[in-house]
Amino acid sequence: MAENLGSAITSTGMRGYRRPARRVDATTALTLGAEHVRGSANGELHVRFLFAPVGRDAQLMTELWRLTKPGGVIAVQEPDSAAWRCYPPSEAWDRLKAAILEAFRRGGGDFDVGRRTFLMLRDQGADDVRMRAAVVALAPGHPYLRLPVQFATSLRNRILDGGIMTSSELDSAIGECEKVAADPRTTGVTFVVAQVWGRKPL
């Protein structure tokens, strides 16, 4: 679902940025730096939701820098949970959101890494670093109103094993959030996708 959201947001375009031909996404996060990735990299890179689940900011940015040819563009899209809300407010939504963010932290990642990517890329030495932030407004019935339910379901074992919520607490919050998402009065805003890009000097 996060990948789909990123695609929806990216379709609005990033001013001054041409989408690179080569993309490394979250499915390669655990193998980034493997021989097949290093051997196939020959130009610009576009990464989406790579840092958030994995962490290791310095290691991943150094590897992306190495994989990008001089003069090539590195484009990074990562989340920031600040805007992620439903209206009217829901305590269950807030509890589930907090559990999701904590589950990312327990796994070594950071759901709010989008707040840091501009400085990460600039500090790495990229030129002409730019940024835009995008969100999707969620009208009643929008499928992304169920994002907390979907994230929490996929992170269930980590939430329970980490003692973030009990099984009954998690089930209750998921059930309430399902009702919130189905309520014809409910609107919302997705988490921010921070879109940052810059050029590796020649």
Residue 43: how many CB atoms within 10 A of its CB? 13
Between residues 16 and 166, which one has the greater pLDDT?
166
Please, which pLDDT band fits residue 20 given cuts at 50, 70 and 90? Answer: very low
Rounded to whole angstroms, the Cα distance separating 19 from 8 reads: 14
Rounded to whole angstroms, the Cα distance separating 49 from 3 reads: 7
On whether the CB atoms of residues 45 and 72 are closer than 8 A, the answer is yes
pLDDT of 44 reads 78
pLDDT of 43 reads 65
Please, which pLDDT band fits residue 85 given cuts at 50, 70 and 90? Answer: very high
Q: Domain 2-199 belongs to what topology?
A: Rossmann fold (3.40.50)
Pull the structure tokens for residue 36. Answer: 């097949």
Q: What is the pTM of this model?
A: 0.80
- Average pLDDT in the 3-20 region? 42
Backbone angles phi, psi at 90, to 5 degrees: -135, 125
Rounded to whole angstroms, the Cα distance separating 9 from 51 reads: 18
User: How does pLDDT run across 127-149, given as a tens digit for each residue?
Assistant: 999 999 999 999 999 999 999 99
Please, which pLDDT band fits residue 19 given cuts at 50, 70 and 90? Answer: very low
Identify which of 47, 11, 46, 1 has the alpha carbon closest to the alpha carbon of residue 26. Answer: 47
User: Residue 101 pairs with which residues in a beta bridge?
Assistant: none
Rounded to whole angstroms, the Cα distance separating 40 from 37 reads: 5
- Average pLDDT in the 95-123 region? 97
Between residues 17 and 178, which one has the greater pLDDT?
178
Tokens 């189905």 belong to which residue?
182
Centroid of chain to Cα 189: 15
On whether the CB atoms of residues 196 and 118 are closer than 8 A, the answer is yes
- Average pLDDT in the 64-74 region? 92
Share of the chain above pLDDT 70, in %: 79
